[in-house]
Chain A
Amino acid sequence: MRVVLEQLTKKFGDVAAVRELDLEMRSGEFVALLGPSGCGKTTTLLMVAGIYRPTSGAILFGDRRVDHLHPKDRGIGMVFQSYALYPHMTVAENIGFPLELRRAIGKPERDQRVREAAGRVEIDDLLDRRPSQLSGGQQQRVALARALVKRPDILLLDEPLSNLDARLRHDMRGEIKRLQKEIGITSIFVTHDQLEALTMADRVAVMRNGRLQAYATPDELYARPRNRFVAEFIGTPPMNFFPAELGSRNGSVVARAEGIEVELTRAQLPRGEARQATMGVRPEHLSIVSPADGNVTGEVYVVEPMGREQIVDVQVGERRLRVIAPPGFTGRIGDRVGLRVAAERLHFFDPTSGERLS
């Protein structure tokens, strides 16, 4: 089922939680709503679910406007952040509750479908327990089964992984993604964790203060962030930024910042006549070389080994740049090193508006 949000706005009193949101999801697509706390992700989801009525704007499922339909008439399944399992019902009753409300489905079919849904998320052996007798991970599976049992057209997930420990989170990430693809259900997934969004979603909508900042595939968000906020929010450790001056040399454009001087490729050339820019470079696109070989030299400020790699902070003039170094790097604090910049991976943003320049 295709989902379209048009100029969707929600105000709570004077506070606009969501502003003029335009979003279009293809049938079967897995879309993540990503943004910092309080940016309006849950509000958006609850409007799609029909719990909140939009202040203005439209919601379409397929070609049908649904924004004045009751939640029960929208054909959605939802997993809440708290899972919202009914404490007084067993797991089986919880999963069966959405079907209980449908006249057309008799008891035998209901039991059959409850078992089927439970089987999908591998909790067949827990059907007689109460939610209070389940672990967080198991509760989450129950919530998933309950959301899916009525075979909805759209699945909504509000931070489904945030209550799980790191290990389980990783497992469930893969599992939810697989489940979504298996069923082929259009899904919207809310998270504040960029890694979750990048790893699970087909497309990611980045929000901030109720506004859409970017809507693109994970690859594109990473490779060509639309503005500085997105560039900073996507990727760990975060991108390094510094002010740069754009000038020309021998007919080509060069950027100069903190003693770094790089020649820009055609694709990077800024539109218009910008002279000032904020230059951004990801830690993984800087490499540590001998002082003579680098675009710039600096001093090792601190080294954080991470096992597979090390994060090295290098002091360059006034600024500290974060660099990812291979595990073999043996520099110590205070060592002089050179930094090589992957010029084709530089990003330029307007210093005032933060918009991408190229």
Chain B
Amino acid sequence: MATVVAPVPGRSRWLVLMPYVVLALATLPILVLYVWLFYSSFFPRVEGFRPIGDLTFDNWRFLWDPASVPQMRNRPPVIPLTVNTLLFATLTSLISLLVSSMAGYAFSRLRFKGRRVFLGGVLLLHSFPSVTLLIALFVVLRTLGLYDKLVGVILVQTAFALPFGIWIMKGFFDNIPWDLEMSALVDGAGRLRTWWRIMLPLVKPGLLALGILLFVEGWNQFLLPFVFMPSGSQQTLSTLVRGILGEGRFVDYGLLTAVGLYYIAPVLVLFVLAQDQLMRIYAGGVKG
């Protein structure tokens, strides 16, 4: 709410500009880094901020001619990796969305035995660092025969994403007045239809925002695919980046920047496209 700030012309203009200046200064280093990343990928070498040599697409060869890139030789090709990553991110976010929106609804609306315990547990799980569970998960996956399979990692990632998702969705459902639901029941809808026709459309902003966040989280996930899919064919892009980085003697920075850029581009695009939706995750509510 813009209440009346002191109507002193000179001073108030400064007050308005101040936040922008501060924010711009704070963002500058990140911005510079992105720009650097971008143009380094088109030069053979970069020293500091100064490019050496001529503009070239050599670094991007991994896309069309992976055989000629030494670091790519023992790795699966990029396109299947991309597909894997896409599958991984999409499926984890979709499954999490489905489960979170149902569980969130139940937590928000139904009074069942053990509700508080479950809610507390969800919160506790959320604050649990996933690293501590790696060994236990390894055993579980092995037993189920899901070790070294994309499906297994998708399930694990989904499980890790759920507490956050459930909590966020519960918040969105909490904001919907009871009257709407009662009204739907009186109008003749059952529980499931009420959920589908009335509740879900009203939390759509939440679903979109959560979906995007989960997708990005899946896209960026490194630890789980790295640990639980060691043998390659089902790996994801993050493990490729890490592989190139950790190739021992000398690192080809040109290649690394190109692969890195290729890797983050979809996320950047997604963020730009979905900015509005993401903002709403902290401002949920019912509005037509």
Contact = CB atoms under 8 A, between A and B. Distances in A.
Contacts of A82: 177, 179
Contact of A97 (B177, B187, B202, B288): B187
Interface in A53-87: 70-72, 76-78, 80-82, 84, 86-87
Contact of A131 (B184, B187, B198, B288): B288
A249 B193 CA distance: 74
A76 B183 CA distance: 11
Interface string A110-148: 000000000000000000001110000000000000100
Contacts of B184: 86, 97
Contacts of B189: 72, 97, 101
Nearest to A51: B182
B288 A71 contact: no
A84 B188 contact: no
A53 B198 CA distance: 23
A46 interface: yes
Nearest to A146: B187
Interface residues of B, number: 21
Contacts of A51: 182, 185-186
Chain B binding surface, main DSSP class: helix
B28 to A, nearest CB: 41
B288 A132 contact: yes
A80 B179 contact: yes
A211 interface: no
A49 interface: yes
A308 interface: no
B72 interface: no
B193 A84 contact: no
A118 to B, nearest CB: 16
B181 to A, nearest CB: 9
Contacts of B11: none
B201 interface: yes
A46 B204 CA distance: 29
A102 B287 contact: no
Contacts of B177: 82, 84
A158 to B, nearest CB: 9
A88 interface: yes
B286 interface: yes
B287 A132 contact: yes
B180 interface: yes
B196 to A, nearest CB: 12
A130 B287 CA distance: 10
A150 B186 CA distance: 11
Contacts of B266: none
A315 B288 CA distance: 57
B288 A88 contact: yes
Interface string B276-288: 0000000000111
B57 to A, nearest CB: 48
Contact of B188 (A81, A98, A130): A98
25 contacts: A49-B182, A50-B185, A50-B186, A71-B185, A71-B188, A72-B187, A72-B189, A76-B186, A77-B186, A78-B182, A78-B183, A78-B186, A81-B179, A82-B177, A82-B179, A86-B180, A86-B183, A86-B184, A87-B286, A87-B288, A88-B204, A101-B189, A102-B188, A131-B288, A132-B287
Interface of B: 177, 179-180, 182-190, 193, 197-198, 201-202, 204, 286-288
Listed from nearest, the 6 A-B pairs whose CB atoms lie closest are: A87-B288, A84-B183, A84-B179, A72-B188, A98-B187, A101-B188
